[in-house]
């Protein structure tokens, strides 16, 4: 069965009969997991194995596991530091800062792959300007060029572990104070300013082979009156054509407050897909997910299906062997010695 364009979530630590039916729906293509789905490494590995066994090609299993404040699995997993910490000492020892970013990218991805996770939605490519509380220390740096350098290393570590990277939140969430989970952020800057600053990390990461992008639920009225995730200007003209991005585009969660501008959930999904998203996320709202699946009964996009399959995790990592390896022990010890307070303070 070909994968569909909808990514759903689950309410608990096992699959309910209703969820099983929804996961088997032809328009479902993936599952995103949250802390509520997690009890232990063994339990989550079993749950993911069950999800993967439902279909062939298997459903893509994703998680937000950046580190710092955004890490869904805690007990049994290494506490990955926030991205801002990787810039510690960058001016003094650039080589060591880049190595740390690569090692933490590998560690995050390897531990996730060892329980079956296909992708973690990382890295964040937003600029850490100290404006956006929801971004805060999730940003690598305050300078676009440094973000690109550190994110490239982080992505390289992820690749080593068999995981593709997703850059977010295109074209940049760092210049708005409002949180798109609870409000509608508006960035009033001109396109030229955004391209010369916020888009730089995305452009460079695309050059380095970035596999996927997640657009922001932010309105940039100088460019389009729609949020970037609903905008053909941003996704087709700028991301696809101008930046020559050929990879996967995931919408951000359509249940977020800022996504509501498009109307009901069926309308949100339709607008996101029409704008150029390959897959839409519908989280924390089972009825809405069902509505979206029904509304897309006749939808098909072979190009999106091919991109989605390329996001599947590569290779197998045995968790016990991983934790017994010298590489894992070395990186974990280094992370434990770091603490998690960046040298430059960003609001959280």
For residue range 194-228, what is the model confidence (pLDDT) as tens digits? 999 999 999 999 999 999 999 999 999 999 999 99
The pLDDT of residue 347: 30
Is 278 tagged catalytic?
Answer: no
Contact 149, 194 (CB under 8 A): no
User: Partners of 214 in the beta sheet?
Assistant: 168
The pLDDT of residue 298: 92
* pTM, to two decimals: 0.94
Query: pLDDT for 279-336, tens place per residue?
Result: 999 999 999 999 999 999 999 999 999 999 999 999 999 999 999 999 999 999 999 9
Is 179 tagged catalytic?
Answer: no
Whole-number Å distance between alpha carbons of 10 and 16: 8
Print pLDDT tens along the chain (348 aa). Answer: 899 999 999 999 999 999 999 999 999 999 999 999 999 999 999 999 999 999 999 999 999 999 999 999 999 999 999 999 988 777 778 999 999 999 999 999 999 999 999 999 999 999 998 777 788 899 999 999 999 999 999 999 999 999 999 999 999 998 887 766 667 889 999 999 999 999 999 999 999 999 999 999 999 999 999 999 999 999 999 999 999 999 999 999 998 876 777 689 999 999 999 999 999 999 999 999 999 999 999 999 999 999 999 999 999 999 999 999 999 999 999 999 887 554 433 332
Which residue is listed with tokens 């749950």? 47
Whole-number Å distance between alpha carbons of 166 and 62: 11
Whole-number Å distance between alpha carbons of 38 and 245: 34
Interior CA angle at 156 toward 41 and 215, to 5°? 80
Is residue 265 helix, strand or coil? helix
Is residue 88 helix, strand or coil? coil
Q: Which distant-in-sequence residues (6+ apart) come within 8 Å of 251 by Cβ?
A: 214, 215, 229, 259, 272, 277, 279, 280, 281
Is residue 340 helix, strand or coil? coil
Instruction: Determine which one of 118, 126, 252, 278 is catalytic.
Output: 252
Instruction: Determine which one of 179, 181, 193, 285 is catalytic.
Output: 181
Whether domain 83-248 has CATH 3.20.20.300: the reply is yes
List the chain domain ranges. Answer: 83-248
Q: Which distant-in-sequence residues (6+ apart) come within 8 Å of 74 by Cβ?
A: 35
């Amino acid at each position: 069965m070909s994968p569909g364009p909808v990514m759903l979530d689950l309410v608990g630590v096992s699959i309910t009969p209703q969820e099983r039916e929804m996961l088997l729906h032809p328009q479902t293509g993936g599952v995103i997991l949250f802390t509520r789905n997690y009890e232990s490494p063994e339990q989550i590995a079993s749950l993911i194995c069950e999800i993967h066994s439902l279909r062939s090609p298997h459903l893509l299993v994703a998680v937000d596991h950046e580190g710092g404040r955004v890490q869904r699995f805690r007990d049994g997993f290494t506490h990955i530091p926030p991205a801002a910490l990787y810039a510690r000492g960058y001016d003094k020892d650039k080589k060591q800062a880049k190595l740390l970013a690569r090692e933490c990218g590998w560690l995050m991805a390897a531990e996730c792959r060892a329980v079956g996770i296909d992708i973690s939605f990382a890295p964040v490519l937003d600029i850490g300007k100290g404006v956006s509380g929801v971004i805060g220390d999730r940003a690598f740096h305050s300078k676009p060029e440094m973000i690109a350098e550190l994110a490239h290393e982080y992505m390289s570590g992820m690749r080593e572990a068999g995981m593709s990277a997703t850059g977010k939140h295109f074209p940049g969430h760092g210049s708005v104070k409002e949180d798109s989970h609870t409000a509608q952020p508006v960035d009033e800057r001109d396109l030229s300013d955004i391209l010369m600053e916020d888009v730089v990390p995305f452009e460079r990461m695309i050059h380095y082979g970035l596999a996927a992008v997640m657009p922001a639920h932010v309105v940039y009225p100088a460019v389009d009156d729609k949020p970037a995730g609903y905008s053909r200007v941003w996704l087709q003209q700028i991301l696809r054509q101008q930046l020559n991005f050929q990879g996967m585009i995931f919408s951000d969660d359509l249940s977020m407050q800022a996504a509501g501008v498009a109307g009901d959930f069926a309308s949100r999904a339709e607008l996101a897909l029409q704008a150029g998203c390959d897959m839409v996320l519908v989280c924390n709202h089972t009825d809405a997910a069902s509505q979206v699946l029904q509304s897309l009964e006749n939808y098909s996009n072979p190009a999106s299906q091919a991109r989605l399959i390329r996001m599947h995790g590569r290779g197998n990592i045995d968790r016990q062997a991983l934790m017994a390896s010298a590489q894992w022990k070395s990186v974990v010890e280094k992370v434990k010695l770091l603490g998690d307070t960046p040298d430059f303070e960003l609001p959280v």
